[in-house]
């Protein structure tokens, strides 16, 4: 691997002798090539499989030329809002505008639009009418079906419809993006990608979905809270890769179809992702702009696991990473920690070794490996399940 930051400009492309990219990632965060950033993982994994990938970080969404900076990619644009939802990034829970954005150079606010996935995707569509657009990351993932939006205080449509994207990847997208890349590079039209787990597509023909559960229509969930609750319950019960079914939600004559959840990564796959080569820094173009504040916190932090079986009522993590714990090996974690020693800014302590919530490292029970997590029972509430491995 040519170890450098991925191209961000035409000059970078020329330096590599490339005239065209396979994928262009458009992201709402500054470009930080570190595995704490989803955009870094997805771009590096595509690069590893031989695809040419470039990054447009925090484009000026009022200027269409910003989206043309790397030309039209051969395969697709990939769009995300950054590491967090753009509305959470911009507003406090009291709906006050935040003064700082730690994912932007110097912490400067307003470097991305509200509802970044929708804005970026529509701008790309304006720039290149017939290009393929795939949205992913936390903003797209948690808004994949009809959902309550706190900021608007109303139920909004699937972001797939509002963004004009062709396909949505939900959850952690490494496996899905590789399957998509392989299919598209082999000439399969994006409309035919109705079979890849961990994705959402739109269709006028419901019969394209197979063995599915029908959610209440969008119209019903916007007018009846009980229907909304029913829809949410079905979605919650279908977040497991073994038991989860394809879900279909109707919007008039269009159907939004969520395929079954992607299988969790095993330990070898987890190690593989975090052992990949990253620059482990922000792009040098930010150096004179005050760096990226978020990087200070993650620079010497290590991701240990994904998923959570805690089931806290306020948390949406299981809708993104699922209830099954996926952990790295101790050897992989140690290797990452040992590499810190070579960094001049390392002062001898690792900020954090952890997962998204509690420090779970093992699956909750043996049963879920074969039969999936329980649909009608929580692992820790109202009391600890007797199958729980402690």
Binding site for ligand SF4 (CB under 6 A): 309, 364-365, 367-368, 373-374, 377, 379, 385, 387-388
Beta strands in 75-184 (DSSP E): 76-80, 133-135, 147-149, 154-156, 167-169
Cβ-based nearer residue to ligand SF4, 281 or 378: 378
* Closest distance of CB 309 from ligand SF4, Å: 6
What is the residue whose two structure tokens read 């974690």?
A: 333
Confirm if 23 and 181 have CB atoms less than 8 A apart: yes
Cβ-based nearer residue to ligand SF4, 98 or 375: 375
What is the residue whose two structure tokens read 């302590």?
A: 349
Cβ-based nearer residue to ligand SF4, 24 or 374: 374
* Closest distance of CB 141 from ligand SF4, Å: 22
Helix and strand tally (H, E) in the chain? 13, 17
* Closest distance of CB 387 from ligand SF4, Å: 4
* Closest distance of CB 367 from ligand SF4, Å: 5
Cβ-based nearer residue to ligand SF4, 50 or 382: 382
User: What 3-state DSSP class applies to 76?
Assistant: strand
Residue 250 neighbours by CB under 8 Å, 6+ apart: 206, 214, 217, 218
* Closest distance of CB 257 from ligand SF4, Å: 27
Confirm if 198 and 170 have CB atoms less than 8 A apart: yes
Q: What distance in Å separates the CA atoms of residue 20 and residue 14, rounded to the nearest whole number? A: 10
* Closest distance of CB 165 from ligand SF4, Å: 34
Cβ-based nearer residue to ligand SF4, 206 or 384: 384
Cα 137 to chain centroid, rounded = 2
Cβ-based nearer residue to ligand SF4, 14 or 369: 369
For the chain, what's the residue count? 390
């Amino acid at each position: 691997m040519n170890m450098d930051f991925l191209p961000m400009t035409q000059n970078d492309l020329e330096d590599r002798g490339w005239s065209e990219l396979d994928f262009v990632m458009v992201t709402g965060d500054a470009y930080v090539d570190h595995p704490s950033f989803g955009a870094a993982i997805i771009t590096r994994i595509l690069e590893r499989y031989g695809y040419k990938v470039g990054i447009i970080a925090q484009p000026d969404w009022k200027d269409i030329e910003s989206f043309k900076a790397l030309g039209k990619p051969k395969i697709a644009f990939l769009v995300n809002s950054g590491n967090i939802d753009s509305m959470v990034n911009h507003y406090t829970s009291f709906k006050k505008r935040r003064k700082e954005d730690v994912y932007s150079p110097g912490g400067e606010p307003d470097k991305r639009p509200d509802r970044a996935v929708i804005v970026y995707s529509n701008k790309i569509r304006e720039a290149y009418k017939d290009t393929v657009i795939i949205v992913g990351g936390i903003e797209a993932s948690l808004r994949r079906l009809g959902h309550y939006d706190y900021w608007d205080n109303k139920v909004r449509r699937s972001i797939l419809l509002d963004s004009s994207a062709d396909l949505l990847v939900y959850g952690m997208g490494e496996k899905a993006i590789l399957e998509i890349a392989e299919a598209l590079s082999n000439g399969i039209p994006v409309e035919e990608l109705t079979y890849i787990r961990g994705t959402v597509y739109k269709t006028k023909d419901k019969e394209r979905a197979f063995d599915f559960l029908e959610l209440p229509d969008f119209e019903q969930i916007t007018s009846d809270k009980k229907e909304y609750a029913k829809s949410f319950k079905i979605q919650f019960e279908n977040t497991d890769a073994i038991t989860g079914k394809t879900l279909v939600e109707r919007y008039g004559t269009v159907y939004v179809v969520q395929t079954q959840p992607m299988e969790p990564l095993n330990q070898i796959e987890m190690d593989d992702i975090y052992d990949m080569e990253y620059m482990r820094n922000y792009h040098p173009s930010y150096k004179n702009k005050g760096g990226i504040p978020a990087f200070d916190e993650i620079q010497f932090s290590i991701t240990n696991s994904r998923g959570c079986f805690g089931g806290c009522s306020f948390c949406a993590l299981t809708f993104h990473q699922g209830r099954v714990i996926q952990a790295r090996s101790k050897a992989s974690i140690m290797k990452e920690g040992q590499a810190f020693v070579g960094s001049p800014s390392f002062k001898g302590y690792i900020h954090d070794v952890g997962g998204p919530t509690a420090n779970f490292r093992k699956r909750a029970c043996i049963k879920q490996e074969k039969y999936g997590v329980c649909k009608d029972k929580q692992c820790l509430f109202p009391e600890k399940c007797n199958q729980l491995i402690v």
